[in-house]
Chains A and B, each alone.
Chain A
Amino acid sequence: EPEVTQTPSHQVTQMGQEVILRCVPISNHLYFYWYRQILGQKVEFLVSFYNNEISEKSEIFDDQFSVERPDGSNFTLKIRSTKLEDSAMYFCASSETLGTSGDFGPGTRLTVL
C-alpha cells in the first residue's frame, strides 16, 4: 500500500541554522500539508499546498518557513533560521481529493540546540 515518506527521521541542528525537511507524498495525491507536534502537545497545522501554491497557512507559518514542490514527487519544508521553539515532530500529509482523509508520514523529529 502506498505511503507518505519523510526524510530524515531525526535532524539535529544549531539555533540559527537552516533546515530542509523532505517528504514524498503518495503519487496520485494532489493536496499536501505540513503539521507539527511539540512534545506532549497537540498536532498543529502549518501549511497546505495545492496546484503549486500555498492554499492556507497558520500563524505559526511565518516568514521563516517556506514550502516547495521542486519536482513531481518531493515536497519540502524549509526553516530559514531555526529557533529553540522549532523543536518538534514535523509531519507531512497528503490527500487525494477534497473532503478525504489525510495520509500522514512518519514524521521528522527536529531538535534545535
Chain B
Amino acid sequence: SQKIEQNSEALNIQEGKTATLTCNYTNYSPAYLQWYRQDPGRGPVFLLLIRENEKEKRKERLKVTFDTTLKQSLFHITASQPADSATYLCALQYQAGTALIFGKGTTLSVSS
C-alpha cells in the first residue's frame, strides 16, 4: 500500500527564514499532490495543488515542487512568520475525484 512520509514531525525555525517541508511517497506517482494547513482542533485548509506533469507551483510566499523521479514534493514558506505556525499536511490523489491520502503532517513552529 502507499506510504507517505513527511520529513519530520516537528520543525522549528526563526521568523524571516525559509521553512522547507518534505513529503516522500512510495509506489506510483499520484495525479495530484496537495498541501494543506491544519491548526489544532480545526479542519485542513487547502494551500496548493500540483499536478503530476508540473514541476513547481507558487502562491505568494508558498512554493511547491514535485519530482516524480525522486517521488518527493517540497513545500517552502519564505519569509516565515509566527502566524505560519501550524501542522502542514501532504496529500496524494491518484485520480481526480478520488480519496485524498494524507501524510501525518509536519508541525512547524516559527519563533520571533
CB distance from B91 to the nearest CB of A (A): 8
Contact with B along A31-47 (1 / 0, CB 8 A): 10101000001111100
Stretch of A65-73, A75-83, A98-106 lying at the B interface = A98-106
Residue B70, interface by CB 8 Å: no
Residue A55, interface by CB 8 Å: yes
- Interface of A (DSSP majority class): strand
The count of residues in chain A whose C-beta lies closer than 8 Å to any C-beta of chain B is 30
Bound Cα distance from A56 to B99, whole angstroms: 7
- The residues of B that contact A107 with a CB separation of less than 8 Å are 41-43
Residue A95, interface by CB 8 Å: yes
Q: Are B98 and A56 in contact (CB under 8 A)?
A: yes
Given A41-B104, A105-B43, A31-B97 contact (CB < 8 Å): yes
Residue A48, interface by CB 8 Å: yes
Given A104-B43, A105-B43, A42-B97 contact (CB < 8 Å): no
Q: Are A43 and B97 in contact (CB under 8 A)?
A: no
Residue of A nearest to B43 (CB): A104
Residue of A nearest to B48 (CB): A101
